[in-house]
C-alpha cells in the first residue's frame, strides 16, 4: 500500500515548522518549504542545517542520513510551489486573519484533492477552513515541540472534515513514528485544553498569595509526579502564548476558569514572558536560559521556633495510619499506634511489619533498621495512652463528625502544649480545631499515599493556628525527610485544588464525545509527560473519592466550572468506582 502524502509542503519554517520539515524528510518524503521572503528562507535553511548537524553530533542521526534528508528539502519564498504537494502543513504565527488569508490563497493555488492542515494550537480550525472552498479537505495537525522527541500528534477534525482525509493524516503521523490522537475542534484540542486550564488555576492560586510559587510547583511535582510545576511550565511555554490559548478557550467556553488570570496579563504587559525574556514567575540567568536564580523573599520575618517533639501518637489503623507510623519510626521517633481496640492496633502493627519486610526484600532497608523501627512502635487500643506524647497525628476516616469527636477526646486526654494534627485531604482543618479548647495547637498535616514513598506533606495552617505549631510541623517534616509545602485552610489545599478540576475537565471532554478515553489518556501522557492519563488516575483514586472532592471544591468556591461532570455522578451512582470495583472508565475486570 502506497504511503500517504509522498510530497508535503510546510508553510512557515520557524522552530516548529523546521522540525516538521525534518521529520517528514527523515521518512523519505519530498518537502517543499515556504517562507515569507528570501531572507527568511535563507534563515530557515540555515536553521534546518544547524539542527540536523546537532543531531549528528549527538548521535541521533548518521551523516549519510542527514545528507539524504537535506536533499529532500527545498526552501523558497514562492507560495505557488505548494501546488506540487499532496498535503500542505501550515506553521505560521497564531493570528487568525493571517491563517485565513493564507488558506484562501492555498485554496486557489493547490489542486482540489490537496489536503490543507493547520498547525494552530488555539485557533478555530473551522473558521480557518471556512476561508476555503474545500472545508472537507481542511483539518488540524498539531505537532508538539520539540518535534524530533515528542511522539504526540493531535489530528483535529471539524464537522465538515472528510474522515478519510483525517485517517490519511493519522497514517502519516504513524509513519513518522508518532502517536496520533483524534480530537474535535475546540480551543486547545485535548492536551492544551486540559493543560492550560490547570496552569491558569495555578497562576490564580499564586496571585491570591495562597501559596508561594516554589510550594505550588513542588506540590504538583511531588504530589502528582509531574515533570514540572505549573508556574515553571508557564515560564517555559511563554506567558504570552499561554494567555493567547486561554483567551481562545474562554471565547469558546465562557467558563470563568478559562478566563486568563489577571497576573498573566500583567506579566505580558510588563514584558515578563518567562524564560525567553529572562523573567516571568521566576527570574533566569539570561533570556532563553533554563537556570532560575534565587530571589530575595518579600517576607523576611524570622520564623518562630518549633516546639520540641520527642514522641508521637498516630490515631487510626488503616493504610494511611500505618504508613505514617512507618515514616516516624524509621526516622527514630517512638510512636504510639492508637486504634479503637487493641486487636485493631495489633493488626495495624502487623501490617507495618509486612511493609518493612517488603522494604528489606527490595534492598531499601536493612534487617537491623527494620527491627529498630518495629521496636519503636507500641500498639494500643486506648487513646488515653496518648496523654504524654508531644504530637498526635489523626489518620481516621474522612468523616467530619468522626474527626470532630476524636479531636474533642484528644483535647481532654493529651497534655497541654502538644500539637494535634489532622491528615484530612478534603475537610476543613478549622472544623477539627474548633472541636477542641485549643485551636491554636491544631494544624493540618496532609500526607500522600503511600506515605513512606511519597515525599510531599501539605502543612495547613488555619486562621487560629499558632506560628510555633506550624514551625513544629515544618521542622518535623525535615527530620523525617519529607518536603513540606505551606498553604491555608481551604478546600483541596494545593494539590487537590489543582488536580481534581483537571480530572473533571477530562470527564466533561469525554461526556461531550470530543475524544475517547484512550486518546485523552494518550494525549496527556505523550503531550505533557504525565505519568498517568486522567482516566487511568481516576480509576486508581476511585470515582467516588473524586466525586466527593469535586463536590467539596464546588461547594467552597461556588464556581460553575467546578461542578462535578454528570457522567462522573452517573458512574458513581451505578457503582462503577474504578479499580476497587473492577469497573470505571476502564474495565479492569477484563484486564
312: left (phi over 0), alpha (psi -120 to 50) or beta: beta
Reply yes or no on whether 496 is catalytic.
yes
Q: Which of 526, 505, 503 is nearest to 180 (CA)?
A: 526
Which of 124, 461, 496, 546 is an active site residue?
496
* Residue 203 CB neighbour total at 10 angstroms: 26
Report whether 584 contacts 578 (CB < 8 A). Answer: yes
Instruction: List the Cα angle 91/95/96 in 5-degree steps.
Output: 100
Question: Residue 215, exposed/middle/buried by CB under 10 A (0-12, 13-18, 19+)?
Answer: buried
d(CA 266, CA 452): 41
Cell readout for 515 is: 475524544
Per the residue annotation, which of 154, 394, 458, 486 is the catalytic one?
Answer: 458
- Residue corresponding to grid cell 505537532: 143
**Strand, helix or coil at 324?**
helix
Identify the active-site residue in 200, 253, 359, 425: 425
Beta strands in 158-271 (DSSP E): 179-184
Give the number of other Cβ atoms within 10 Å of residue 455's Cβ: 14
d(C-alpha 463, C-alpha 440), whole Å: 9
Half-sphere exposure of 398 (CA within 13 A, CB side): 13
Q: How far apart are the first and last CA of the chain?
A: 34
> Is 258 part of the annotated catalytic residue set?
no
C-alpha cell at 442: 491544631
Active-site residue (options: 142, 258, 446, 554)? 446
DSSP string, 357-381: HHHHHTTSS-HHHHHHHHHTEEEES
Half-sphere exposure of 144 (CA within 13 A, CB side): 24
Decide: 503 and 584 in contact? Cβ < 8 Å: no
- Classify residue 169 as exposed, middle or buried by CB count within 10 Å of its CB (0-12, 13-18, 19+): buried
- Tell me whether residue 171 is one of the annotated catalytic residues: no
Which residues lie below 8 Å from residue 195, measured CB to CB, with a gap of 6+?
188, 524, 527, 528
Cβ proximity of 436 and 408 under 8 Å: yes
Active site residue 569: no
Q: How far apart are CA 337 and CA 334, in angstroms?
A: 10
Backbone angles phi, psi at 477, to 5 degrees: -60, -45
Integer Cα distance of 588 and 213 in angstroms: 38
- Distance, in Å, from the CA atom of 71 to the CA atom of 69, rounded to the nearest integer, reads 5
Three-state DSSP class for residue 578: strand
Ramachandran class of 470: left when φ > 0, alpha when ψ lies in -120 to 50, beta otherwise = alpha
Residue 435 makes CB contacts below 8 A (sequence gap 6+) with 403, 404, 405, 407, 408, 411
The residues annotated with a catalytic role in the active site are 425, 446, 458, 496
Amino acid at each position: 500500500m502506497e504511503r500517504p502524502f509522498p510530497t508535503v509542503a510546510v508553510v512557515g519554517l520557524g522552530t516548529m515548522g523546521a522540525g516538521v520539515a525534518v521529520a517528514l524528510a527523515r521518512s523519505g518524503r519530498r518537502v517543499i518549504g515556504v517562507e515569507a521572503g528570501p531572507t527568511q528562507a535563507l534563515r530557515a535553511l540555515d536553521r534546518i542545517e544547524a539542527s540536523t548537524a546537532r543531531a549528528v553530533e549527538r548521535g541521533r542521526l548518521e551523516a549519510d542520513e542527514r545528507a539524504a534528508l537535506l536533499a529532500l528539502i527545498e526552501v523558497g519564498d514562492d507560495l505557488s510551489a505548494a501546488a506540487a504537494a499532496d498535503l500542505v502543513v501550515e506553521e505560521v504565527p497564531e493570528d487568525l486573519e493571517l491563517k485565513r488569508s493564507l488558506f484562501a490563497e492555498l485554496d486557489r493555488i493547490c489542486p482540489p484533492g490537496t489536503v490543507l492542515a493547520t498547525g494552530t494550537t488555539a485557533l478555530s480550525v473551522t473558521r480557518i477552513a471556512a476561508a476555503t472552498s474545500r472545508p472537507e479537505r481542511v483539518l488540524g495537525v498539531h505537532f508538539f515541540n520539540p518535534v524530533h522527541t515528542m511522539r504526540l500528534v493531535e489530528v483535529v477534525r471539524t464537522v465538515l472534515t472528510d474522515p478519510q482525509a483525517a485517517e490519511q493524516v493519522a497514517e502519516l503521523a504513524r509513519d513518522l513514528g508518532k502517536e496520533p490522537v483524534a480530537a474535535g475542534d475546540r480551543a486547545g484540542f485535548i492536551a492544551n485544553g486540559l493543560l492550560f486550564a490547570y496552569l491558569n488555576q495555578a497562576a490564580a492560586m499564586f496571585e491570591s498569595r495562597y501559596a508561594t510559587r516554589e510550594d505550588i510547583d513542588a506540590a504538583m511535582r511531588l504530589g502528582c509526579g509531574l515533570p514540572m510545576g505549573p508556574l515553571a511550565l508557564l515560564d517555559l511555554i511563554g506567558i504570552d502564548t499561554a494567555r493567547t490559548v486561554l483567551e481562545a478557550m474562554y471565547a469558546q467556553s465562557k467558563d470563568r476558569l478559562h478566563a486568563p488570570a489577571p497576573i498573566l496579563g500583567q506579566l505580558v504587559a510588563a514584558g515578563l514572558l518567562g524564560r525567553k525574556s529572562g523573567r516571568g514567575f521566576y527570574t533566569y540567568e539570561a533570556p532563553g536560559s533554563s537556570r532560575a536564580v534565587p530571589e530575595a523573599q518579600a517576607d523576611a520575618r524570622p520564623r518562630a521556633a518549633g516546639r520540641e517533639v520527642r514522641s508521637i501518637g498516630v490515631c487510626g489503623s488503616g493504610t494511611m495510619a500505618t504508613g505514617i507510623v512507618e515514616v516516624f519510626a524509621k526516622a527514630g521517633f517512638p510512636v504510639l499506634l492508637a486504634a479503637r481496640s487493641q486487636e485493631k492496633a495489633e493488626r495495624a502493627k502487623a501490617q507495618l511489619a509486612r511493609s518493612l519486610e517488603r522494604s528489606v526484600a527490595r534492598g531499601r532497608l536493612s534487617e537491623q533498621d527494620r527491627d529498630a523501627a518495629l521496636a519503636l512502635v507500641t500498639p494500643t487500643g486506648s487513646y488515653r495512652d496518648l496523654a504524654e506524647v508531644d504530637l498526635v497525628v489523626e489518620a481516621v476516616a474522612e468523616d467530619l463528625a468522626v474527626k470532630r469527636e476524636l479531636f474533642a477526646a484528644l483535647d481532654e486526654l493529651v497534655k497541654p502544649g502538644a500539637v494535634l494534627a489532622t491528615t484530612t485531604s478534603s475537610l476543613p482543618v478549622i472544623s477539627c480545631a474548633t472541636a477542641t479548647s485549643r485551636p491554636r495547637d491544631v494544624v493540618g498535616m496532609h500526607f500522600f499515599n503511600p506515605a513512606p514513598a511519597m515525599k510531599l506533606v501539605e502543612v495547613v495552617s488555619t486562621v487560629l493556628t499558632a506560628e510555633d505549631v506550624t514551625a513544629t510541623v515544618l521542622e518535623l517534616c525535615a527530620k523525617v525527610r519529607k518536603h513540606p509545602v505551606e498553604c491555608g485552610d481551604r478546600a483541596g489545599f494545593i494539590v487537590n485544588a489543582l488536580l481534581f478540576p483537571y480530572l473533571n475537565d477530562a470527564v466533561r471532554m469525554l461526556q461531550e464525545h470530543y475524544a475517547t478515553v484512550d486518546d485523552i489518556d494518550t494525549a496527556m501522557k505523550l503531550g505533557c509527560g504525565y505519568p498517568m492519563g486522567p482516566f487511568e488516575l481516576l480509576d486508581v483514586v476511585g470515582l467516588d473519592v473524586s466525586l466527593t472532592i469535586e463536590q467539596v471544591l464546588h461547594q467552597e468556591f461556588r464556581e460553575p466550572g467546578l461542578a462535578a461532570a454528570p457522567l462522573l455522578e452517573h458512574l458513581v451512582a451505578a457503582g462503577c468506582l474504578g479499580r476497587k470495583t473492577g469497573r470505571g472508565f476502564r474495565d479492569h475486570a477484563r484486564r
